[in-house]
Amino acid sequence: MKGIIQLANNKQYTGQWHGDVTHCKGQVIFYTGMGNFLEFMTDPETKGKIVVATYPGILDSHFDPSKFESDDLQLTALIIQQELFVQSEREKNWLAFFKEKGIPIMSGMDTRTIIKQLLKDGEISAKMTADHHKLEPKFDDQKSTSHEKTKVLNPTGKTNLVVLNFGIKKSLLAWLKGFHCKLTILSAETSASTIAELKPDGVIFSGGSGHPADYQQYFEDYAKVAKSYPTIAFGLGHQILALAFGANVEKMKWGHRGFKQATYHTSTQQVYLTNQNHGYHISLQNLEETGFKPSFLSVQDGDIEGLIHKDFPIATYQFHPDGTNFKLESLIKDAYFQQLEQSKGEKLYAEAK
């Protein structure tokens, strides 16, 4: 049947509606990647987004659940240029999967025009509906992300790391498991005192979806934790820690989304391709007052992609390790383990005194 998407600026576009769900809403973002489609659609940071995918024939891509970044599809709806009147076997599989998850697809769309509109006005909210339904009703938001409860991985590891889960990606979890450390995964709402009871050697803030200010009530705890243990943070966690130390976060006109976002390391001037999916960024304004300084910057627009603190062993990254960039991920891991070793040495010295 026919479908309509109406942007917040009242621009409307029509296409073919597929799926039993007859209406939805969300922020419209675009994905120009020619690969990693499954990873992007299941990334927790895509939660609640209407995704405009530009690559032709994207629903002919291979369906491999082992590449999922979470246990489910995270997007609200998918918009594609691809016509689906004559379906291949793969197209049928994709349509059945989206239908099973209650996520509509609009095909035959003028994705180029929509993206030109987004480039002009920025990523904005929109409503989607099947043609015989009205656009006016207030649509219910998707259920909020349910963060994993306490879980312990590699329980015999000699180094004890606490992971605060804001919506952790499976690839990041797999990378962390490769540390062969004990990993205690906790809810993002865990207090500093509860974390202290676990006597961690270090703390990791995961990525996730939403605005970092949503966690403002926990900022004092987050800052206390980060000052107490060697800490690294990724994605949303990077933004949350920056805010907790007094930095400013701003909405980007359009986000960095894809697995080949070029960043350069300010110390070595080396350029790396990184995996990113975010619509907010850290502002340079008043950053110096927080004690942080940039460690990575975007080649594309100069945005902050990483931070290090001058007084505490804290390093944050806007991008995510996913096991595909050995040189960059070794740099992150080696720097963190050096901080862990130095911290252990300081503790041993203090106990000896």
236-244 vs 219-228: helix crossing angle, rounded to 10: 90
Residue 140 has pLDDT above 60, yes or no: no
CATH of the domain at 80: 3.50.30.20
Residue 158, beta-bridge partner list? none
Q: What is the pLDDT of residues 246-286, one digit of tens each?
A: 999 999 988 899 888 999 999 999 999 999 999 999 999 88
Q: How many whole angstroms separate alpha carbon 127 and alpha carbon 260?
A: 30
Give the model's pLDDT for residue 85. Answer: 65
For the segment 142-169, the average pLDDT, to the nearest whole number, is 81
Q: Are 156 and 182 spatial neighbours (Cβ–Cβ below 8 Å)?
A: yes
Q: How many whole angstroms separate alpha carbon 331 and alpha carbon 174?
A: 17
Q: What is the pLDDT of residues 314-341, one digit of tens each?
A: 999 999 998 888 999 999 999 999 999 9
For the segment 2-18, the average pLDDT, to the nearest whole number, is 92
Say yes or no: 117 and 258 in one domain.
no
Domain annotation covers residue 138: no
Give the model's pLDDT for residue 133. Answer: 62
Give the model's pLDDT for residue 55. Answer: 87
Say yes or no: 159 and 296 in one domain.
yes
Burial of 238 (0-12, 13-18, 19+ CB in 10 A): buried
Give the model's pLDDT for residue 87. Answer: 67
Strands, DSSP E only, in the chain? 2-7, 12-18, 23-31, 49-53, 77-80, 105-107, 125-130, 151-153, 160-166, 182-187, 202-208, 231-234, 249-265, 271-282, 292-298, 304-309, 314-317
Give the model's pLDDT for residue 322. Answer: 85
Give the model's pLDDT for residue 136. Answer: 47
Q: What is the pLDDT of residues 292-304, one digit of tens each?
A: 999 999 999 999 9
Domain that holds residue 229: 151-352
Say yes or no: 279 and 161 in one domain.
yes
Residue 13 has pLDDT above 90, yes or no: yes
Domain annotation covers residue 140: no
